[in-house]
Structures are given as structure tokens and as C-alpha cells.
Amino acid sequence: MKKLNTRSIRKRKTNPEAKKLQMLTCYDFQTANVLNTTELDLILVGDSVGNVVLGYDTTVEVSLAEMKIFSAAVKRGAPDKFVVADLPFGSYATYTSAIENSISLFQSTKVEALKLEGANEENYKIIKRLTEIGIPVMGHIGLMPQSVHSQGGYYKHGKHLEDKIRLQKEALELEAAGCFAIVLECVEASLAKEITAQINIPTIGIGSGVDCDGQVLVINDLLGMTENKPKFVTPVANLFQVKKELISKYLQ
């Protein structure tokens, strides 16, 4: 399969024949090796690494140094895939630090793009500048795990009119700022569908219904490795149990 780039990713939205974009998270070299041999379109080194690999309570604890280690490992394992790395909490709090930290993460890991959460005037400026200097940016709105404390927990977004209008405006502004795609996390399915129709860049949904231009899942949830998986995921295996059984068999 030909490696995607920002142009071919955008084209998938406009081609009615094209398959929806499929993105999975990945955090290590060996899993990246496996994904590299599949038809997967995009890999996300999500800051969900904090929850599923490092055992943190929230993604707020993930540092830039950690994102560099995991992103570089994944990129080494999946040279033929378009890899997106998350900018972690606090690393893009100010314009200057955002530009410096983004260059550092992008250059040291060799990933193809970065993702940041939230839509506000400061983020639009950051996205515009990063895009200008050659760093593609994926946006992320709706449920934003880095803002779990200010958003007041994890829940569905876009249920109320005010919220709905705000999310639509944010998606349009992120597109105008230069994002090549936007993650819609836990956004009401009907609203995710509307946003997808309103913007010209692909939307990649997670817990946001089936009408986005693509879907992203945390690989550990998909493979049944996490005990508290989100309701919207149908695991394809129960690797937690499989590993347990294999190790127990070895221990006999």
C-alpha cells in the first residue's frame, strides 16, 4: 500500500469511491512493525500512551520527553505509514513554546504530523505558523482528554444548541488555520455528520458515529487489552485473557 501524505489524505474526502480513513493508536516498535505491514492508513502516537502504557490517571501527566521516546519508536517500526504524534499537555500553552516544542518533537521523531487539542485564538495562530514552516497539524475537538479537569469529566459533546454552534465554528476555524484533518472525539453523531459535510478536510471520529470521513481507535481497546474499554468499541479479540491464559499455561 502506498504511504499516504497530507494531499492524499485530503483527497480521500472528495473521492466518493474511496474507503473511509482508518487510524489506530500505537505506542511501541513491535506493534508498529505489525501495523506497517497492514492496510492501515494512519497511525496516531496518542498521549493516551499515558493511560494505556504508563498507567497514569489522565493524559495531563504525559511529558514531551515521553512523547518523543514513544513517537520515535513507532516511527522506526512503521516507516511506511503516515504517523501523527500528539503534542502533550502544556507543550503548546504559549505561542513561543508551542513552536519550539513542535519543531523539537517533529524533527527528533521523524513523524509526518502533529496533533493538538482545542480550538482558540492562540491555537489557530500556532497551527497557522506550524503549517507555514512545514509541520502538518491535525486538530482535535469535542472531548479533549487534556482538558478533563476544565471540561468536567468525559462525556458526549454537542448535545445543546450553544455547544453545537461552538463546535461547528471551531471546526471551520481549524480548517481555516491550516489543519489537514480534525479528530472529533465523543461528538453527537448527528453533529459530527453535519461538521463533516461543512468542512473540506477529513474528520476522523472516535465515539462520534459512523458518518465521519474516518475513524480512530485506541489499539489496546480494539484488541481487548484494557479492562475499562469505552462503550463504542467492539473489540476484535480479548488479548488480556489470551495473554493471561498463555502465561498461566507456561507457569504450570
Query: Which x/- pattern, by CB under 6 A, does the window 51-90 give for ligand KIV?
Result: -----------------------------------x----
213 in contact with ligand KIV (CB under 6 A): no
CA distance 198 to 182: 12
Q: How far apart are CA 144 and CA 225, in angstroms?
A: 23
SS3 assignment, position 240: helix
Q: Does 218 bind ligand KIV (CB under 6 A)?
A: yes
User: Closest CB to ligand KIV among 98 and 116?
Assistant: 116
Residue (15 or 228) nearer to ligand KIV, CB = 228
CA distances from 160 to 64, 145, 155, 246 (A): 35, 20, 13, 48
List 185, 188, 194, 227, catalytic entry: 185
Q: Are 67 and 86 in contact (CB under 8 A)?
A: yes
* Type of residue numbered 245: E
**What residue type is 88 in one-letter code?**
P
User: Which residue's C-alpha cell is 512545514?
Assistant: 134
Give the contact letters, 172-211, x = binds to ligand KIV (CB under 6 A), - = no. Answer: -----------x-x--------------------x-----
Catalytic residue check, 185 = yes
The 10 Å CB-count burial string (b at 16+, else e) for 205-214 is: bbbbbebbbb
Name the residue with the smallest CB distance to ligand KIV: 46
Window of 40-48, 74-82, 92-100, 102-110 that interacts with ligand KIV by CB under 6 A = 40-48
Smallest gap from residue 206 Cβ to ligand KIV (A)? 5
DSSP string for residues in 74-142? HHHH-TTSEEEEEPPTTTTSSHHHHHHHHHHHHHHH--SEEE----SHHHHHHHHHHHHHT--EEEEEE
Q: Which three cell numbers stand for residue 241?
A: 485473557
* Interface pattern 220-239 for ligand KIV (x via CB under 6 A): --------------------
Of residues 109-168, which lie at the interface with ligand KIV (CB under 6 A)?
none
**Closer CB to ligand KIV, 199 or 216, in the complex:** 216
Residue nearer to ligand KIV on the CB measure, 40 or 252? 40
Q: Using the rule CB under 6 A, give the single segment among 39-47, 122-130, 169-177, 225-233 that binds ligand KIV.
A: 39-47
Of 25 and 91, nearer to ligand KIV (C-beta) is 25
Radius of gyration of the chain (CA): 18
Which positions touch ligand KIV (CB under 6 A)?
25, 44, 46-48, 86, 183, 185, 206, 216, 218
Which residues are tagged catalytic?
Answer: 185
